[in-house]
Amino acid sequence: MLFKHLFTPHEIRGLEIRNRIYSSSHQTILAKNGVPGEEMAAYHEARARGGAGLIIMESSRPYHDDVSASYYIDSSTDACIPGYKLVADGIHKHGCKVFAQINHGGRIAYSHDGMLMVPNGPSLVPDHRFHCMPRVMSTHYIQTLVKAFAQAARRMIEAGLDGVELVSSHGMLMAQFLNPKTNQRTDQYGGSDENRFRFIAECIAETRLVIGSEKIIGLRISCDEHEPDGLDASAWLKICARLDDENELDFVDVTAGSMMGPGGSIHVVPPMQVEHAYIAPQAGHIMAVINKTIMVTGRINQPQLAEQVLAAGQAHMCGMTRAMISDPDMPNKARSGNIDAIRACIGCNQACIGHYHMGVRISCIQNPISGRETILDNHTKANKSRTVLVAGGGPGGMKAAAVAAERGHRVILCEQSPQLGGQALLARLLPNRSEFGQIIENLGYEMRKAGVEIRTGSTVDRALIEIEKPDAVIIATGATPFTPDIEIADNVHAVDAWQVLRDQVNPGTNVVIADWRCDWVGVGLAEKLALNGHSVRLLVDGEMLGKNLQMYLRTYWAGVMHKLGVQVILYARLFGADGDTVYFYHNASGQGIYCEGVDTLVMAQGHKPVTTLETALKGMDIETHLIGDCLSPRSAEEAIYEGFIAAQKI
């Protein structure tokens, strides 16, 4: 048997969970007016249908003063009960269990209606991410929160959920009480380990009193907050030893990181550069000091990894959240042994947590249906089978071909180069970014399974169209590097990003990178060249390094740039170059920035669409769809989404 542990049931307080896979709490931006609705129910039901054993719903706010936006679940009133019931009913009908999460941000507060909220914390200690100066909680306020947590749990249980999870992870309120650096109180809630623990103990006890003896209560913790003023691994081990005495607590859900500062935030949703299953060893240490169910999450994106964690005795259950955002059917595919069919998460963070930080619904760059379950359907067959020709084998073209073939069309995909993948082939060449190449394997499998005819080394032109006589053409011809209209003297060693990625040029010792894109290209090249021993100056045509990257990935790379000694200069627009000098224009001051002693100028100046085929087909009476970079150079997310939509229209 391939999975000896992963698909065995697990029991918590008499509740049997069918397997060891769970979806951990994560924000979806699918709540409306503070309550779950049909979109959230459909999202979670897809994961339940796909075989998950347990789903832990997203963070809810049990007290009115901590509700910052309408897309957060407000569990402070009974108005949330019908929505929770809708979600629970959808999950339960597929044999999956469901818990809800209760959280208060404490000193970590967001804006509400464009104005800053009043943050409430244990003590007058500011954070270093949101830069909030908290109001010190009164004893009465704390005791009011204890009641609020329990009443929120009561509402969830009335709605039919199986249990609740309280949040002491990521530097949130409960963690703030536990931490002597953020809890400097001298009353019964501070001053000693016992007093700092009191708030959690009272919340657990009051919640048990309200919801009864049968339902589940768990606590989410960060096993290491990775912040200078955060709780480290040894501190959390001591806390977990104390948690072992909490008889009303049933499980501990182990994650890492903290929202108190940028460095800790990286671990909230760790990007692909972070090692797989890296939190599991620490979860194993926690298992040694506590006799409760231990759950763990953190870059466990494949069932084989989860099996290894379980076999090593590091946890009882594995959180595979992003794995199921990418492929909701991952558990069923693994259980049936169909491993190759799993659309593996690549840890890009772009459309999951990235969408959250933009305030838009959750999705996945590989799977546009995620978060759009009530809008998109991948399984609607076409009324009539037609011949579809896809020009271009990058991610957008591959997705279009796969979906069109799944819908019953005869599909031919032509890629002029010898290899499928487009710019994903380049992205995977950067340090610690090889996992991005998995997107090629995933889409390649989808195409082969659907029966797409794949032709590499084949260029689509008007002549081929006339030979094949397709009913529809999807143009996904991508883009090539763009060179701005500026003066670069012949004696300047100027190269483009693609040449460096492909190792087609030999950069000199002192390199300047002109980064217009403000995404993974400029910072990735800077890391690559610095690791190879070059002295690198990265000049960014934007307000911050990696402006167009997801926040945690941007922060990760900022740390890498600092460690490698890369000089980063912002607001820098490339103006020209001659000899060993590169000239930039400061976007804010209007003054010049002069980089002297430059051996090589690397231009990461974006891309220009390839429109040759679009032009050639003008005048032909044929259905045509443009997708991805040939329409407008953007990212893989837009290309794949547009490929999906184009295939749905044919």
Q: What digits encode the pLDDT tens for the residues 69-104?
A: 888 999 999 999 999 999 999 999 999 999 999 999
| Per-residue pLDDT, 586 | 98
Q: What is the pTM of this model?
A: 0.97
- Pair 291, 404 in one domain: no
Residue 554 resides in a domain: yes
Considering the chain, what is the average pLDDT of its residues?
97
Cα–Cα distance, 51 to 271 (Å, whole number): 25
Q: How confident is residue 1, by pLDDT bands cut at 50, 70 and 90?
A: low
Residue 140 pLDDT exceeds 80: yes
- Pair 426, 567 in one domain: no
- Pair 88, 198 in one domain: yes
Closest CA to 220 of 195, 243, 196, 247: 243
Owning domain of residue 634? 387-481+609-649
Q: Tokens at residue 297, please?
A: 């999450």
Q: How confident is residue 284, by pLDDT bands cut at 50, 70 and 90?
A: very high
Residue for token digits 């901590």?
66
- Pair 644, 596 in one domain: no
DSSP 536-590: EEEEESSSSTTTTS-HHHHHHHHHHHHHHT-EEE-SEEEEEEETTEEEEEETTT-
Contact predicate 390/404, CB 8 Å:
yes
Residue 296 resides in a domain: yes
Residue 5 resides in a domain: no
Cα–Cα distance, 69 to 55 (Å, whole number): 23
- Pair 134, 199 in one domain: yes
- Pair 619, 475 in one domain: yes
Q: What digits encode the pLDDT tens for the residues 594-608?
A: 999 999 999 999 999
4, 270, 411, 444, 642 from 386: Cα distances, Å: 45, 43, 8, 21, 19
Residue 370 resides in a domain: no
Residue 372 resides in a domain: no
Q: Which of 358, 373, 403 is the last residue of a domain?
A: 358
- Which of 222-231, 370-379, 570-579 has the weakest average pLDDT? 370-379
CATH number at residue 549: 3.50.50.60
Describe the crossing of helices 193-211 and 233-243 by its angle, rounded to 10 degrees. 50
Q: What digits encode the pLDDT tens for the residues 105-123?
A: 999 887 777 888 999 999 9
Cα–Cα distance, 382 to 405 (Å, whole number): 10
- Pair 513, 594 in one domain: yes
Residue 436 pLDDT exceeds 60: yes
| Per-residue pLDDT, 20 | 98
> In the chain, how many domains are there?
3
Q: How confident is residue 65, by pLDDT bands cut at 50, 70 and 90?
A: confident
Q: How confident is residue 48, by pLDDT bands cut at 50, 70 and 90?
A: very high
| Per-residue pLDDT, 380 | 84
How are beta strands 592-595 and 387-391 bridged, if at all? unpaired
Residue 366 resides in a domain: no
Average pLDDT over residues 484-509: 97
52, 352, 358, 359, 628 from 29: Cα distances, Å: 21, 10, 10, 7, 25
- Which of 105-119, 122-136, 449-463, 629-643 has the weakest average pLDDT? 105-119
| Per-residue pLDDT, 67 | 84
Cα–Cα distance, 609 to 642 (Å, whole number): 15
| Per-residue pLDDT, 2 | 82
DSSP 164-203: EEEEE-BT-HHHHHH-TTT----STTSSSHHHHHHHHHHH
- Pair 296, 420 in one domain: no
Residue 349 resides in a domain: yes
Q: Tokens at residue 316, please?
A: 């009882």
Q: Tokens at residue 608, please?
A: 């220009």
Indicate the helix (H) or strand (E) that contains 647: helix 636-649
30, 273, 510, 551, 644 from 640: Cα distances, Å: 22, 23, 38, 22, 6
Average pLDDT over residues 335-363: 96
- Pair 83, 157 in one domain: yes
- Pair 420, 292 in one domain: no
Cα–Cα distance, 107 to 126 (Å, whole number): 7
CATH number at residue 399: 3.40.50.720
Residue 371 resides in a domain: no
- Pair 451, 426 in one domain: yes
Q: Which of 319, 340, 358 is the last residue of a domain?
A: 358
- Pair 51, 130 in one domain: yes
Cα–Cα distance, 388 to 624 (Å, whole number): 10
Beta bridge partners of 594: 583
CATH number at residue 57: 3.20.20.70
Whole-number CA gyration radius for the chain = 26
Average pLDDT over residues 304-323: 98
Beta bridge partners of 102: 60, 166
Counting residues of the chain whose pLDDT is more than 70, the rounded percentage is 100
| Per-residue pLDDT, 70 | 85
